Structure 1
């Protein structure tokens, strides 16, 4: 048998704590746990290194016993609508964890501080839940993060200033959309080179022009449906930018000439307070009127000619 007896005991405890769901019917004590459904064993150590529970008819809370699988690198509870309670504190013990994905569930409560101790995390995905409270500034201490998905929760407060101080070799993609985040975006975020930022559908205000720049390597920026208010006229944009969504804000001024040379595949500045001629002879004519409608006095193709 390959299966480690300690791991087997823990898995059977998890199964019992979840009420012996049909989803885990293959977890038979008489068989080798390395071949059970939704788990994986490390080929060298034969220890359980992944538990991925996906689209299961499971009710209840994440069992504390998950914290007793010390070799876990991947922990996923995904698309389980009847999963409730808070993010299990025992997860703090899983120091080898690289991927934590608790998404599309009914988890409630705050994003716990202990996550910042899981220094091997490359992916933190806590989206599509019912999480509340503020974003812990300590998440910026995670040195290996590639992406943070906190979108589609009920988070409040401001974006932490520390999010402009990620220490790792990679600057993580930040997905914070569909929450109730307020206040200004910290200017510290302008010090880093984020390749993907999605802050859409929050209640953010003020100036975010420091997120743009010729020397950035941004690819996707979505700041739509906030209350952002700044003059875009002087902004410069990275040539790497393929998607820029600023719709439904209070952005004023005119679109800078340099935008026409950016190889945008998606662009929307509708429902703002922009004025003046849309820069001609570049990519901005490849978008239809819906990208520009409901501004103060924008004109020129694809909108009607300037008077």
Structure 2
């Protein structure tokens, strides 16, 4: 090897070392704006008992921090932080730093079950032009939604359920025309549900349950057909309109003509439906129907839904439904939960088919008769209290509360049967 060639190799090795070192430094660090914004978020956290942010450290590759994901250019695109609702110490505490706006390429934010995060609706999201998914759920954000929320016109999904937001839904929300999912349940929203749903041609999920909405169901919800797959309005203060010349409520539902509703929950409002609406019965893909406490007064045998085979969940509790559930239940194959408490049902429990898929059954406070079948052992939850059942209870894990109020039931967990 000539001295000149050896010198060339040494110089080339030095260049390669410097080049690789530069590559390593570049790959190992965040974009300075991303790092600054994320560390500002961490600085706003007062408690992190599970150490969710323990590896958020300056000078390291932020794309490998917990809950952070990047694309090829090493810019942060996704933040997903989840608390542990089953762990009393599984929550972050603090506030959302406005400097998160520096993470300019964010497309998706998921802050879920961070139960002790406080403040109002975070304004930093207005400065994230690429944001299309925003879920801040089960935190403690409060106050009204700002009128300028309509600036988030590129959002596909907005999830704010389980917070403490109050006041009306601002009309500017109608500017978010790209929405496919809107989750506002479990807050303190009030006033009438706005009548602007014809502004959302792609909306599939609409969840407004567990709030304080009043008035009727707006007619523009009909414009969501036939794409609407999930509608949850339960546990509000909704009702029909009462004309001065009438003594009864009129049907509060517009003729929605929704053929593909898959999940519907309107339970515990102030409806007096009388019977299950035709547009509900006509759905051929429905798998979850919940109309508890909706003023339904009918014989269940007279209800002829188009399709029951693939029902997963049915809750018609606390109505005035009479007759038998046998034809309905036996006509399903995937039933997991069936709740019919507080009605006037009268049928032989021996005729009730306990599907292998069935896990939750509540027939309490009816007039069900017959004996308790051995097949209840496959259930996870059961309530047969306050009926007219007789005989010995099969051995099971259920407490006495599941069987009380049946005059001639006996055996554990109730008093022993008398010898004849």
- Category of TM-score, reference length = shorter chain: 0.7 to 0.9
Paired residues for 1:1-307 under 5 Å: 3=31, 20-22=44-46, 46=75, 47-54=105-112, 55=114, 57-81=116-140, 83-167=141-225, 170-183=227-240, 184-206=251-273, 207-213=275-281, 216-237=284-305, 238=307, 239-255=309-325, 257=327, 259-263=329-333, 264-275=335-346, 277=347, 281=351, 283=353, 291-295=362-366, 299=369, 304=389
Question: Partners of 1:32 and 1:202 in 2: how far apart?
Answer: 51
Whether the 8 Å contact between 1:3 and 1:34 is mirrored in structure 2 is: no
Alignment: residue pair count: 295
> How well do the aligned residues superpose, as a CA RMSD in angstroms?
3.9
Stretches of structure 1 that go unaligned for 5 or more consecutive residues are: none
- State the 4+ residue runs in structure 1 displaced beyond 6 angstroms: 23-39, 284-288
Post-superposition Cα deviations, 1:28-80, rounded to whole Å, max 9, x if no partner, equal 99999877876766657952212333416433212333212111012222222
Question: Partners of 1:42 and 1:116 in 2: how far apart?
Answer: 31
Question: Partners of 1:137 and 1:123 in 2: how far apart?
Answer: 17
| Shift in CA distance, 103/42, structure 1 to aligned 2, threshold 3 Å | farther
Question: Partners of 2:144 and 2:32 in 1: how far apart?
Answer: 29
Question: 1:278 offset after TM fit, Å?
Answer: 5.3
Question: Partners of 2:168 and 2:43 in 1: how far apart?
Answer: 25
Question: Partners of 1:61 and 1:188 in 2: how far apart?
Answer: 38
**TM, length-normalised to structure 2:** 0.58
SS in 1 for 2:182: strand
SS in 2 for 1:67: helix
Q: Higher relative contact order by CA 8 Å / sep ≥ 6: 1 or 2?
A: 1
SS in 2 for 1:65: helix
Whether the 8 Å contact between 1:271 and 1:294 is mirrored in structure 2 is: yes
Whether the 8 Å contact between 1:53 and 1:78 is mirrored in structure 2 is: yes
Stretches of structure 2 that go unaligned for 5 or more consecutive residues are: 1-25, 76-104, 241-250, 373-387, 391-420
Question: 1:242 offset after TM fit, Å?
Answer: 2.2
Post-superposition Cα deviations, 1:229-260, rounded to whole Å, max 9, x if no partner, equal 33433212322212211011122455473542
Post-superposition Cα deviations, 1:121-140, rounded to whole Å, max 9, x if no partner, equal 22211122111112223235
